[in-house]
Structure 1
Amino acid sequence: MSTLISQHPLDSVLTLPQNGHQKAREKGLEEFKVQGLPSAKAEEYKFTNLTKKIAQSFEELVFGAEFQLTAEQVKEATFEGFEGYVLVFANGFFQPEVSSQIEGVKVSKLSEATNLSLGSIAKPEKDPFCALNQATFQEGVCIQIAKNTQVEGSILILNFIDATSGNFIQPRFWIESGDFAEATFIEQQVLLNDTPYFYNEVKEIKGGLSSHLKIFRIQNEGKSSISMSNIETDIQKDATFSSVNLSLSGQMVRNNLNLNLLGSNSEGNMYGLYMLNGSTHVDNHTNVDHTIPHAESNELYKGILTDKSRGVFNGKIFVRQDAQKTNAFQQNNNILLSEDAIVNTKPQLEIWADDVKCSHGCTTGQLDEEALFYIQARGIGKEKAKGLLLYAFAGEVIENISDESFKNHCVELIQERLGTNF
């Protein structure tokens, strides 16, 4: 059992807001006090010491305040070619005045949504930062997709960050889809200044029978920011859930993504690309829990690292005793472009069933010199040849983005990072 670190910046924010969900808040605080902040010896955080990094970066943490945004700011922040719906947030506070109305989708503040079981999916006992969010989040949002609703067009979640009023930002999402519902979400942050901040997000996603949900995310954090994300989803019978995460910057970024396959013919897909430079540190922890027969999961994470950046991948697949006929795939591949770049990778597979098809693996290396020579022999310069190889490496992840406008936006960001236009 851990104890709370004394005189840590997080001590100043351990108070329960009185704006609803008090039992869930009390449970979160109780769990946080039991677990405490993860120490350097904590197995789950051995390569990503958030406790120390927060203490080094902030003398005090103060909750970020809500602020008003204009339609013009939203328009400027929306990437080119996007034609879907936009849900706007200011430091995690929902801004209905400048957000879209979506037929078949109800969006409300968490303080106004009373019939929810916060913490029933993303359980606070699993992670101390999840517990911290549940106890102290200032406001959140509830997104409910009605039964049989197929949302035409993606839903863009734009979260504007302005940490001048407070450097501790804690978005909280409850996303729930009815049976036979379909929706695609795109998440992107918009930084209004360079003020350092600690971002601690939790998303609980409750999928219905035969529902199909997708979430595409860009993490383009401030260079002095620390970001923590907990996303967990329940996937029911005949349902699918797909996630694509693109990480580009941030001082220290940690992503926890957990998929619970709870019904037959359910499917979970997890894809990630981290392209890191400078001293950026990104840690992806994933977990897939196969609990029933006839379910499938696919996972592919790729990293391109240069300078003194550091990547961490820890992927776990659990196949329970009753989960016969499981099909599970997991792969992590990394390319290091400098001697100072580091990656720590640990794919894990635990199987208690005997009639399954499962595989996992990882690779870490440099660019293929033979392939580089072959491309240069066709009259292409060395730098462009490198860019082509790296783009092809990254493309296997990006091709899983179904929204074409967002895919094009990601391609532009990747090309900009590689310094090459094709």
Structure 2
Amino acid sequence: MSAANDKAHAFVAGLAASAGLAPLAEAGRQAMADLPVPTRKSERWKYSPLTPMLVTPVRTAPAHEGWPEDVPTNPIPGLDAYRIVLLNGQVVAEACDLPVADGVVCIPLSQAMAEGRIGAGDEDWSAYHTREWVGAVHAAHAQDGLFLSLESGVVLDRPVLVHHHTTGENVASCPRHRVQVGANAEAEVVLWSSAPEGASGMVNAVLEGKVGAGARLGVDKVQHEHGAVFHLAHEHVTQDKDSTFRIHTVTVQGHWVRNELNALQHGSGSHTIMHGAYLPKGQEHVDNHTTMDHTVPHCTSSELYKGILYDRSTGVFNGKVFVREDAQLTNAYQQNANIVADAGASINAKPELEIYADDVKCSHGCTVGQFDEEALFYLKSRGIADRAARALMVQAFIGDVLEGFGQEEVAQEVEGLLADRHGWM
């Protein structure tokens, strides 16, 4: 066994086996033994090796004693939403507020399993555990999460807020969510991750979704974690004919973050929006890996990720767009733009486009630069202080990402958090 595998084995030794997803857990345990632990030698992980995370073993938290009194269950002022809250991967039932309506099933995943709503052989839609070691770790130790299912034609009247809070030292959480939106149905979900100063450990989260024909699913995803939490997140969504899937991901704060997003279009006429922003500072690390897979004709996608990197932080963007042979008349757009604000910061960007069809309209690009000195000079010549001028430029730079949030209250709260953190006026 290699040194990396020795550390990996010790790292997960304190994790409890998944109780509700036994077949998936067994498959995950087997895959953990078979798959390599990501290191710098792994192409997909060479800028984000897991070595720093594996230094200190983690453990599954004991059963919770209720939601912390000093943490709001809804961290977004003014947002009128249904709510499911998780503490270290465990649903806190008394703090939840879930819809009860015809055609809507919105319950904890553990309850869905107990009620037989997830059949044998249907526990996993993404096969993430067969491709990545971290996916196998999640499968073997998956905990609770959101189960949301909408029947055809149902429009959910409010968004569903999923608030995951990490607390304690060297704690591991593996929340797992499933969202299924029936034909011509509509749902909005807000994923919010938080942690206080002093928290440490790992969050290894998975969301699997299916968007039916003519349906719409929107996701606002915000990571705002203090402390020293290693956060791994994987979203895997498939789309049917004429459906729309939108996700906006903003990392406000996070010690070490790896977001993996896969969208697969299986029905013609589908549209996908994947937008994100990241503004790390200090020695924070934020990695966004995306895959947009066009497999059928007459589909569109729009991908826009923007980053501003401060101090000695590092960023990674790897976006891959596939246009398969049958995906004629695809219109795919991908753009990654970065500002390296300080000399010690760095970004590793790799936009990729693989086209196997001959009648398509596709573009991709990447920019890396510094603040525009001429624009700064212009603003300062109008009496605006240097710090305020830079704040205005930052707001303008990421404004189009923030404006795309499905919930205005989420956009306002994110902008306020960024303003507090970066000294915007």
TM-score normalized with structure 1 length: 0.93
Partners of 1:89 and 1:361 in 2: how far apart?
38
Residue 266 of structure 2, aligned match among 262, 268, 272:
262
Displacement of 1:93 after TM fit? 1.6
Residue aligning to 2:54: 55
Percent identity reads: 33
User: Which stretch has the larger CA shift, 279-288 or 211-220?
Assistant: 211-220
**Deviations 1:77-132 (CA, angstroms, capped at 9, x unpaired):** 53211112111112122223221131323313334253241222243222221121
Structure 1 residue 142 displacement after superposition: 2.0
What is the distance in 1 between the residues matched to 2:134 and 2:272?
24
Unaligned runs of 5+ in 1: none
CA drift of 1:68 comes to 3.8
CA separation of 1:101/1:73 partners in 2, compared to 1, >3 Å: closer, same or farther? farther
1:134 alignment partner, one of 114, 133, 139? 139
Does the aligned pair in 2 maintain the 1:292–1:322 contact within 8 Å?
yes
Report SS of the residue matched to 1:197. strand
What is the match of residue 253 of structure 1? 257
- Cα distance change on mapping 1:113 and 1:240 into 2, 3 Å: farther
Query: Counterpart in 1 of 2:160?
Result: 155
Deviations 1:261-304 (A, max 9, x none): 11011111111100010000001000011000011111000001
User: For the residues of structure 1 that align with 2:149 and 2:15, how far apart are their CA atoms?
Assistant: 30
Q: Which residue of 2 aligns with 1:183?
A: 187
* Structure 1 Cα separation of the partners of residues 67 and 128 of structure 2: 36
Cα distance in 1 for residues equivalent to 2:181 and 2:318: 29
| In structure 2, C-alpha distance between the alignment counterparts of 1:302 and 1:402, rounded to whole Å | 18
Amino acid in structure 2 at the alignment position of 1:64:
A
- How far 1:70 sits from its partner (Å)? 5.0
| 1:219 matched to 2:202 | no
Q: CA RMSD in A?
A: 2.1
* Aligned partner (choices 367, 373, 389) of residue 369 of structure 1: 373
8 Å CA contact 1:237, 1:262 repeated in 2: yes
**Counterpart contact for 2:171–2:201, Cα < 8 Å:** yes
In structure 2, relative to structure 1, the CA distance for the partners of 1:61 and 1:76 (3 Å cut) is closer
- Aligned pair count reads 416
- State the one-letter code of the partner of 1:23: P
| Residues 45-194 of structure 1 aligned to structure 2 (within 5 Å) | 45-50=45-50, 52-56=51-55, 58=56, 60-69=57-66, 75=72, 77-102=74-99, 103=101, 104-110=104-110, 111-112=113-114, 114=116, 115-116=118-119, 117-164=122-169, 167-192=171-196, 194=198
SS at match of 1:225: strand
Structure 2, unaligned runs of 5 or more: none
For residues 19-70 of structure 1, give each alpha carbon's deviation from its aligned partner in whole angstroms, at most 9, with x where no partner exists: 33322222222222221311220001000011x11222x1x22112331435
Deviates more, 1:63-72 or 1:179-188: 63-72
- 1:381 counterpart letter in structure 2: A
C-alpha separation between the residues in 2 aligned to 1:415 and 1:391?
9
Distance 1:189 1:308, change over 3 A: same
SS in 1 for 2:279: strand
Q: Distance in 1 between matches of 2:53 and 2:231?
A: 10
1:225-374 to 2 correspondences below 5 Å: 225-374=229-378
Question: Which residue pairs with 1:5 in the alignment?
Answer: 5
Task: Determine the C-alpha separation between the residues in 1 that align with 2:261 and 2:88.
Answer: 22
Q: What's the CA shift for 1:402?
A: 2.4
Q: Distance in 2 between matches of 1:47 and 1:320?
A: 28
Question: 2:30 is aligned with what amino acid?
Answer: E
1:319 deviates by: 0.4
Determine if contact 2:146/2:162 at 8 Å carries over to the other structure: no
In the alignment, what sits opposite 2:403? Answer: 399
**TM-fit CA distance, 1:404:** 1.2
Judging changes above 3 Å, is the alpha-carbon distance between structure 1 residues 101 and 119 closer, same or farther for their aligned structure 2 residues? closer
Match of 1:43 in 2: 43
Q: Distance in 1 between matches of 2:266 and 2:61?
A: 37
SS of residue paired to 2:188: strand
Deviations 1:333-362 (A, max 9, x none): 000111100000000000000000000000
Query: Structure 1 stretch 22-31 or stretch 182-191: which is displaced more?
Result: 22-31
Whole-angstrom distance in 2 between the partners of 1:275 and 1:364: 14
**More displaced 10-residue stretch of structure 1: 303-312 or 405-414:** 405-414
Contact 1:113 1:142 in 2 (8 A): no
Per the TM alignment, residue 15 of structure 1 is displaced from its structure 2 partner at its CA by: 6.5
CA contact (8 A) 2:321 2:354 kept: yes
Alignment partners' CA distance in 2, 1:75 and 1:417: 19
**Per-residue deviation at 1:7?**
4.0
TM-score computed with the length of structure 2 as normaliser: 0.92
What amino acid is aligned across from residue 54 of structure 1 in structure 2? M
| Alignment partners' CA distance in 2, 1:192 and 1:309 | 20
Matches of 1:228 and 1:274, distance apart in 2: 15
Which shifted more, 195-204 or 64-73? Answer: 64-73
Distance 1:269 1:3 in 2: 41
Q: Which moved more, 1:298-307 or 1:68-77?
A: 68-77
Letter in 2 for 1:97: E
Distance change >3 Å, CA 138–CA 407, structure 1 → 2: closer
Counterpart-to-counterpart distance in 2, 1:219 and 1:78: 12
Q: Secondary structure at the match of 2:5?
A: coil
